[in-house]
Amino acid sequence: MLRMSKMTDYGIVLLTELARAGSETRTARELAAGTGVPLPSVSKVLKGLQGAGLLVSHRGASGGYGLSRPAEHIPLTEIISALEGPVSLTECGAQGGHAPTGTCELETVCRVRGHWRVINRTIQDALGRLTLADLCAPVPRLVGLGVPARPAAPAQNPNPIPTTAGGAHS
């Protein structure tokens, strides 16, 4: 499935809500009400985003959270990696030092490893080119994602087999 954790999903929803508030701050309570995310989880996610430097917080009465910089300057990769570590499909290729060489017991025989670095960078590039501001735009009219503007065809994929094993998982 290759999915993000729910918390990261929450984080993105909360950030877009916050971006819509412009320079005003919002309390965790307000954001919970506005998005439908349960308050304790909102709290936890916001704390994480604050720790990563994406949000600034004001404590005390009439406190709240605000973006630390304009939404245009917050790339999607940074949001994701703030909440669940470096964007990487495999442990071994993670640049953050998650697998400090030696963790993967197959390392000596693994002939695939070098390729993951490239693949991971590709995904990071695609995700990093998208900012929080893009996610706030009303209609998904995203360009410059690194994929040539092109119809729905699977591009240079010359095999006629329907991608994704068809019914196996549906």
Partner DNA sequence: TTTAATGCGGACCAACTTAGTCCTGTTTAA
Partner DNA sequence: TTAAACAGGACTAAGTTGGTCCGCATTAAA
Q: Choose which of 7, 27, 30, 34 interacts with a copy of itself (CB under 8 A).
A: 34
Which secondary structure element, helix H or strand E, spans residue 79, and what is its range?
helix 76-84
Structure tokens at 124: 């990071």
What mask of x and - would describe binding to a copy of itself in positions 113 to 142, judged by CB under 8 A?
Answer: -xx-xxx-xxxxxxxxxx---xxx-xxx-x
57 binds, options DNA, a copy of itself, none, Cβ within 5 to 8 A by partner type: DNA
Strand partners, 26: 65
Structure tokens at 9: 């999903």
What residues from 137 to 156 belong to the interface with a copy of itself (CB under 8 A)?
Answer: 138-140, 142, 144-148, 150, 154-156
Sign of CA dihedral 90, 92, 96, 99: positive
Contact status: 102 vs a copy of itself (CB under 8 A): no
CA distance 40 to 97: 30
21 binds, options a copy of itself, DNA, none, Cβ within 5 to 8 A by partner type: none
CA distance 95 to 120: 9
Question: Contact positions toward DNA, by CB under 7 A?
Answer: 1, 5-7, 10, 27-29, 38-41, 43-44, 46-47, 50-51, 57-65, 84
